[in-house]
Structure 1
């Protein structure tokens, strides 16, 4: 074997090794950028285990537990079975603090006009005691798509005041509209 062949052989190996290292670094950088860029698709997981993702940002203040909301929603089991939906009924009214714990927590992260996707672990949903007659099995995680149509600040306080006022009236009082 000529002397020139032996002398060039290690440099060829070194060049191929550097090429492979460069390709691996490029692939790793691409994966890292994709992970960072997909952050908005992953959403956030709270300390309670609720998974929350903003699909379309809303505006204004975030909902408080004492606020009333009008929402459009669809609730699904993990297998895709829809167990509840506001479709065909119009927006559904509710008091943010008077729903299952995971849904209440998610509502307090939402704003008017926003669209959200949430994943509620069983312990923050119905747990071992789903509503009687519902298609929700015990200990089921739940997923919801939610659109916040309207927020009514302090609706729970207004509702309580109305109930107290009605309860304080004499029985002979005419019915209130």
Structure 2
């Protein structure tokens, strides 16, 4: 038969138990701090001027005036007003289909209201991550900041319908000018 040898457990010195628990708590806090530092943070939307009404949905086209900057302040993009010769078809601002935007921009825009001005901070993992668009002035893993004025928004279907109307008007105008030139 085998024999089991007992090993006596020595008593803990007085005052050692609180030190042990303090050490365990410090290790747990350090681990939690490290975990928080590596977890990606969400999109930050800061309201500068309040807007009114409803917010756009993920399938809307927003019309916005905006400036996109990198963390060091370098401007990488700027939206201009659409300069259409026929007023009343589209609102002012740059049309941006949310379905085609990076996830962080879409998420932030859906928290805005018409007429409001906002600062939108998008972490790299919700922007372009490690692979920005070819030739873009955005480095890999860059956080992006936008100053945005949400002028208006409409559904993507409404946008496509108005775009079709606009194209027909332009074709009719070109045909008319072509007919007058032939005279």
- TM category (shorter chain) comes to 0.5 to 0.7
Residues 71-150 of structure 1: pairs in structure 2 closer than 5 A: 71-87=64-80, 91-150=93-152
- Rounded Cα–Cα distance in structure 2 between residues aligned with 1:145 and 1:86: 10
More strand by share: 1
Alpha-carbon shift at residue 145 of structure 1 (Å) = 0.3
Deviation at 1:159, TM superposition (A): 5.8
Match of residue 89 from structure 2: none
- Report if aligned partners of 2:62, 2:95 keep a CA contact under 8 Å in 1: yes
Q: CA RMSD in A?
A: 2.6
Structure 1 gaps of 5+ residues are 1-46, 166-174
Q: How far apart are the structure 1 equivalents of 2:94 and 2:160?
A: 20
Alignment gaps of 5+ in structure 2: 1-39, 83-91, 170-183
Counterpart in the other structure of 1:157: 157
Q: Structure 1 pair 151/136, CA: closer, same or farther in 2 (3 Å)?
A: same
Q: CA deviation at 1:66?
A: 1.5
SS at match of 2:157: helix
1:112-141 deviation digits (Å, cap 9, x = unpaired): 100000110000001111111111001100
